[in-house]
Amino acid sequence: MKLAFRLRSGAPLTHAEAVGCMTANLALPGAGSLAAGRAVGYAQIAASLVGFAVTAVGFVTTLPWFITTAPRMQEMDPEAAFIAFWRHIRWPLLGIAIFVFSLLWGLATSFKVLSEHPKQPVPPRI
């Protein structure tokens, strides 16, 4: 299997291919944009990978803290518990926000590609 992140070149897209690009953008933001021939797909892929990495690293560092602290949080002052929780959960939330931004960016590009390649109406049968 050959995997290449290159811009599409050649013939214009059909509507079915534009729908396929939209589906690819849902799976990995930016992949469908590259398949549609949009250079913005490189930035979308980079943003989605950064968001995923920040989320993963933040979650891996937050999980041990949460496992050891969760039983004692009921006894803590609510404000102090919220501040401690916020200090640990903000990085995973930032990563999720970056990924969602890249997903929405990819969807906006997908809708633009779909609007440029409308479905061809089928002539009525006689």
For residue 58, being part of any structural domain is answered with yes
d(CA 106, CA 33): 7
Q: What is the DSSP letter of 12?
A: P
Closest CA to 21 of 103, 111, 121: 111
**43 touches 56 (CB < 8 A):** no
Q: What is the pLDDT of residue 9?
A: 67
For residue 75, being part of any structural domain is answered with yes
For residue 41, being part of any structural domain is answered with yes
Using a cut of 0.85, tell me whether the model's pTM lies above it.
Answer: no
For residue 87, being part of any structural domain is answered with yes
Number of domains comprising the chain: 1
**40 touches 109 (CB < 8 A):** yes
Q: What is the pLDDT of residue 121?
A: 66
For residue 124, being part of any structural domain is answered with no
- CB-facing half-sphere around the CA of 76: CA atoms within 13 A: 13
Find the domain containing 75 and state its range: 15-116
d(CA 86, CA 62): 10
pLDDT in tens, the chain (126 residues): 566 666 666 667 888 888 899 999 999 999 999 988 888 999 999 999 999 999 999 999 999 988 988 888 888 888 988 898 899 999 999 999 999 999 999 999 999 998 887 777 666 677
